[in-house]
Amino acid sequence: MNGLLDYVPGNSFLHRLNPFTKLVLSFVLCAACFISDRHFFIAGIIVLSLLMSAAGGAIGRSLRILVSLVKLCCVLFIAQVFFVRKGAILLHLPLNIYITAEGLLFSLLFVLRLTAAALPLALMLSVTRMSDISNVLTRYFGIPYKYTFALTTAMRFIPLFSREAADVMEAQTARGVEFDTKNFFKKIMLLLPLCVPLLISSVRRIEGLAISVELRGFSLRGRRSGYKRYRFGAGDAAAFAVCALAAAGAVIL
């Protein structure tokens, strides 16, 4: 998912929301997916996430994430549907393998929950700066800054390491390494040697980052050290109303 965790600059309705509101909205939508067991309700959260992505100018990224999740969910659905043995048998296959009605519904619910829970978090990362997430987690949630810094730094490094891995693979491909092989095990064996240069580069980068933040008084950062102040507006009230409706709908349904 190269670049899918990067911030998308903009001035949309979602960009102007308080970062605290965006965090609460994304987590409430994720929690609602696991509270409710209604397929149509969870599918509605997926549609809501896509509509919010369109409003925030990140619909292209959300669709790419959705396509990646659908590919993963197809594999998980096929693997899961054969393990639930309860319910009426819909399809009987050789070797005592069969698909039941309960297994089909449970597998569908499983993949819908995975998709619906991932999209709001990806949207929140797309319209919120990492520095704002760190400030909000420290100021409003009382999480020590060293933990929020570690979390946001890890999320920043994911796309960076993905790009570095792609560069190394391109260099190896130019030297005759066949990364486009269809043999899964052979591809794994070709990818394992890439871990060494990536590990060395990451250690060097982290060491330089540690020295840099210590020189900037990292250990002195407290809950009220941030200079930014985030205001709540009418848009935040509307977002909290959506949170209340989602939570109530999940509990009632």
Cα within 13 Å of Cα(236), Cβ side: 13
DSSP code of 63? H
Both 133 and 160 in a single domain? Answer: no
**Considering its fold, how many domains does the chain have in total?**
2
Give pLDDT tens digits for 201-239.
Answer: 777 777 777 777 777 666 666 666 666 777 888 888 888
Task: Say yes or no: 11 and 120 in one domain.
Answer: yes
Are residues 121 and 77 both part of a single domain? yes
> pLDDT averaged over the chain?
80
Do 138 and 16 lie in a common domain?
Answer: yes
**Measured between alpha carbons, how far is 210 from 153 in angstroms, rounded to an integer?**
11
H-type alpha helices, the chain: 19-35, 39-55, 59-81, 101-126, 130-139, 145-174, 184-191, 195-215, 234-252
The average pLDDT across 179-205 equals 74
Band of residue 145 on the pLDDT scale cut at 50, 70, 90: confident
pLDDT band per the 50, 70, 90 thresholds, residue 134: confident
pTM (predicted TM-score)? 0.74
**169 in the same domain as 45:** no
Is 195 in the same domain as 238? no
* Statement to judge: residues 105 and 191 lie in one domain: no
The count of C-alpha atoms lying within 13 angstroms of the C-alpha of 208, restricted to the half-sphere facing its C-beta, is 5
What are the φ/ψ torsions at residue 58 (nearest 5 degrees)? -120, 30
- 130 and 100 assigned to the same domain: yes
Range of the domain at 55: 1-142+227-253
Q: Write down the pLDDT at residue 226.
A: 64
| 114, 191: one domain | no
- Are 95 and 82 contained in the same domain? yes
152 in the same domain as 232: no
Q: What mean pLDDT comes out for the span 124-150?
A: 82
Together in a domain, 102 and 172: no
pLDDT at 144 over 50: yes
Structure tokens belonging to residue 27: 């987590």
